[in-house]
Chain A
Amino acid sequence: MSDAHDAKLVEEGAALARRPGRTTTPVPAVPENWAGVAHADPLSRGHRGYVGTPLARLDGPVKVRGRAPFAAEYGYDDLAYAALAYSTIPKGRMTGLDTAAAEASPGVVLVLTHRNAPRLNPQPGYDMSLRDPGIGFERLPVMQDDRVHWNGQPIALVLAETQEQADHAASLIHATYAAEPAVTSFAAALAAGTRPLEIFGRRIRVELGDAEQALAASAVSVDETYRTPPHHHNTIEPHAVTVAWHGDELRVHDSTQGVLHTAWTLGQILGIDPARIRVTSPFVGGGFGVKVLWQHHVLAAVASRTAGRPVRLALSREGVFRMTGGRPPAEQRVAVGADEDGRIRAIVHTGAYATTRHSPWPEPLSMASQNHYASDAFVLDTSMAYADLVQNCSMRTPGSTIGFFALESAVDELAGKLGMDPIELRLRNETATNPIGGKPFSSRHAAEAWRAGAERFGWSRRSPVPGSVRDGEWLAGMGCAMVSHHYQRRPGGAARIRLTADGRARAEVAAHEMGMGTATVQSQILADRLGLDIDRVSVGYGDSAMPGRFLAVGSSQSAGIGGALLAATRNLMDELLKLVRDGSPLAGLTLAEVGAVNGGLAALDDPSRHESYESVLARAGRAELVVEGSGEPPAEMANVSMFSFGAIFCEVRVSSVTGETRVSRILGSIDCGRVLNPRTAASQFRGGIVMGLGAALTEETVFDDRNGRIVNASLGDYHVPAHLDVPPIDLIWTDIPDPYAPAGARGIGELSSTGVAPAVANAIHNATGRRIRDLPITPEKLL
């Protein structure tokens, strides 16, 4: 892990783990050109070892003792503390910027504004083509001119000896403005007209058959509008960096989902070789899509260079709201038409969301309807409406969290009109091939997930008559909805493995631990691929100096590391065979003939021909063997459609007096390929469900439509779920390995959150007879 990591505590974590024992049959290397070949990876073939066992997370002991260092916790002699001042108008120019009082304030080292900031290159932003490792969402110049682009833009940075002094001085900065007309509400943005969303330079519109005609011809149909508000990620750790220049080299202690990308992007903006920037991020206090490069990275680096001192810039909670964006507001139309027997004939899913003109960022909400129901005809499209608001960005399951709310509410409404059980309706429209494009699914067990979930949840006890179950003032109901998320392995993954003479292996990947259990799960995989005990392997991550181009986004990181590690382990085994000397039991064997087991290599057809890693290295006179490996291009998606599936079931109680909703039971039934670690996977599923509960019932970033300023810029006013909002969450999974995915596992970070809001809304309908089509479902909507 990090240089600051406490090895003793890591060992203790391993000791705490339940250890079922290492693999006992030799595990062969994954052959080259595996991507696209079914069951090429032995770990996807029913292999038993550490993979699939509930190892306790290795980062546990340091975290529960408060010894895990986060970005704002690195000390330097002479550290200066930064604070920001923010604009108070949405658009225009600063006509005056009075910094005199701040500059004269005790302890102030520097006041940085557009007047004295050094010239910087433009922000390259995220590269949709994936050619360059850009990471920022917003591409505006950082403090380069007097222009204001949104209400809450940083207009000045104050550096002082203490945080108290910096905060106070920042409060003394006063700007005057020449305001310009601005689009400060979603409604105004929609009224000004929308533009089609393009990704990779292409529209995402999908048209199959004549959906409107098929809709009109359907025996039964629904056609409704669904509205969802903006959301903020609200990681409990606010964004922070501690930066220090050593000559012309920049050290960044960050909280990020992209160490390499941050280094590269900062290099472009600052005009220096990215190799001279080292970004580490051993622990990330929550990410969910928002821990990427924002202006504070640039400002801290610039302030540090200007002042000649190390700088800490930790955003206040208000600052997080002001200058980092979240999920945009959206308005969607979903229409679904079906035969009387429930066979879906048409799906129309169109909608628009708000983004910025300068840095349009996709929220592909219509893609939610793209891969699931076996409809004859589709029209699916997403449009953008430009507004002068804080930059929107990806938030746990971009497009899907709100897209599924619309789709899965509509399907529930359709079931109601058909007089059909909503699960039965979904089962009748199951498909083995992707209805768009026709590729077969790599592994789709959605129907099993639905049936197992219904059984476990007691769905048969649900009254089909809305509003018919009452317990005193409380109305009770059950609802369900599909979850799904695409599999993704991003190109550029690479790993380094260092095997040492004591028979230990350490892998290094420039990847991220935001709480998913990255190091734990990858250690399990590494141990199995190398036939080592779990406490003889370690996985380093969170350092831009390590190999690979990883982003902890899109539920893609595990597959990305997996693809890199299997290549690196193959290379390691290959190199080891080259070191084998005459007299070794392994002499004469080729890579295809050996597997890793019992701390060394063995012949696949005769495991008694075995030599330990220690022995191989010792005989060769080597203290260590270091290899690298790169993930193959993600060809596994070429001929199959790779998605995870599942269903959310929930039971709600709604007060007939106050309209308050309480979720009393919830179950996730998941089909995500192989579950690599049931313990950490369950945490991810539960976490997604809790975030979905927030979207369903309590969360909304409230913008003031008059000026585009966020009104509830605090955790007191923005209500993320609290303990009492969250009932025990039950989980089951199919655990059927995906033959095309490394280790048989598809990504899971975002899957469970997709169907929660519709499941809750559907349960509320079942409880009350009220259909709520705009989130969050606050008490007044049910009065």
Chain B
Amino acid sequence: MTEDGGPVRINGSPVALPDDPRVSLLDLLREQAGLHGTKKGCDQGACGACTVLVDGQRVLSCLALAVQYAGREVVTIEGLSEGDTPHPLQRAFVEHEGFQCGYCTPGQICSALGMMAEVERGVPSYVTADLGAATAGLDGDELRERMSGNLCRCGAYNGIADAVAETFAGRTR
């Protein structure tokens, strides 16, 4: 057995791991850390509302047992603003109506940030024509395919896509 990590770090602050290994990262956030911005939509990996960033990668916190994340750096929707200044993507979501009810929104935003990191790394998608290409982009179906793990029942998909595209215009390589 390894003893790496200690507590999980959430938005820069250490949070003790739960005694009960059944506690998901999502429930750790919501019920123990008091961070309700990350949402529970299905609790089974089928909607994306619980998306957070772990060491910069987007993951589903509902399918993550918190005890697996010792020593990892978790960023939630609450950790994206600099003080009271919202992240440009958060601002763009308001500007482009990237939501209605707002429940899937934190997951959409965190997912988009993780997605951009993937694109900047050159990770292809199912709709990428040339898998051998060293670069990736958001053109054509790319953005929508890459964001398809985040459901929005209010149907704000156009606004979400516009907000993401505008915020990250020119950031693909």
Contact = CB atoms under 8 A, between A and B. Distances in A.
Judged by CB atoms under 8 Å, the answer to whether A and B touch is yes
B65 to A, nearest CB: 11
A724 B86 contact: no
Given A61-B86, A73-B36, A680 B93 contact: no
A13 B36 CA distance: 21
Choose among B149, B152, B156 the residue with the greatest number of A CB atoms under 10 Å from its CB. Answer: B152
Interface in B136-173: 141, 143-145, 147-161
Contacts of B149: 722
B119 to A, nearest CB: 15
Contacts of B156: 683, 686-687
Interface string B98-125: 1111111110010000000000000000
A686 B153 contact: no
A84 to B, nearest CB: 14
B155 A63 contact: no
Q: Is the interface of B mostly helix, strand, loop or mixed?
A: loop
A709 B145 CA distance: 33
A16 interface: yes
A372 to B, nearest CB: 25
Given A515-B102, A715-B151, A285 B39 contact: yes
A288 B153 contact: yes
Contacts of A237: 39, 41, 101, 103
A716 interface: yes
Choose among A61, A682, A722 the residue with the greatest number of B CB atoms under 10 Å from its CB. Answer: A722
B68 interface: no
Contact of A236 (B78, B80, B153): B153
A75 interface: yes
A56 B93 CA distance: 10
B43 interface: yes
Contacts of A60: 93-94, 99
B102 A690 contact: no
A308 to B, nearest CB: 21
Interface residues of B, number: 64
B97 A680 contact: yes
Contact of A723 (B35, B41, B147): B147
A715 B77 contact: no
B22 A686 contact: no
Contacts of A766: none
Nearest to A58: B94
B22 A164 contact: yes
A723 B149 CA distance: 8
A64 B44 contact: no
Nearest to B35: A66
Given A61-B94, A63-B102, A236-B49, A722 B151 contact: yes
Given A715-B41, A723-B161, A724-B144, A16 B91 contact: yes
Given A285-B39, A724-B148, A683 B159 contact: yes
Interface string B1-36: 000000000000000000010110001001100111
B102 A238 contact: no
A59 interface: yes
Nearest to B142: A724
Interface string A690-704: 110000000000000
Given A714-B42, A723-B150, A516 B155 contact: no
Given A65-B37, A720-B151, A726-B155, A317 B100 contact: no
Contacts of B41: 236-238, 317, 715
Given A65-B77, A283-B102, A714-B46, A687 B155 contact: yes
Contacts of A314: 40
Contacts of B61: none
A59 B77 CA distance: 16
Contacts of B99: 60, 63-64, 515
A201 interface: no
Report, as a range, how many residues of chain A touch the other chain.
Answer: 35 or more
Contacts of B141: 724
B101 A64 contact: no
B49 A687 contact: no
Interface in A45-88: 56-57, 59-70, 72-73, 75
A287 B99 CA distance: 14
Contact of B144 (A168, A517, A723): A723
B95 interface: yes
Choose among A164, A317, A687 the residue with the greatest number of B CB atoms under 10 Å from its CB. Answer: A687
A288 B153 CA distance: 10
B101 A515 contact: yes
Given A64-B99, A65-B78, A66-B37, A691 B94 contact: no
B151 A514 contact: no
B95 A726 contact: no
Given A64-B93, A66-B106, A683-B154, A716 B44 contact: yes
A534 to B, nearest CB: 15
Interface of B: 20, 22-23, 27, 30-31, 34-47, 49, 76-78, 80-81, 84, 86, 90-91, 93-95, 97-106, 109, 127, 141, 143-145, 147-161
Q: When A and B form their complex, which 8 residue pairs have the shortest distance between CB atoms, in order from nearest?
A: A66-B37, A515-B100, A690-B155, A285-B103, A63-B102, A515-B101, A66-B77, A60-B94
Given A236-B151, A683-B97, A686-B155, 16 more contacts: A13-B94, A16-B95, A60-B99, A64-B106, A65-B86, A66-B77, A73-B30, A162-B20, A164-B27, A238-B42, A683-B159, A687-B154, A715-B41, A721-B155, A722-B149, A723-B161
8 contacts: A56-B95, A64-B86, A68-B102, A164-B23, A683-B97, A723-B144, A724-B141, A724-B145
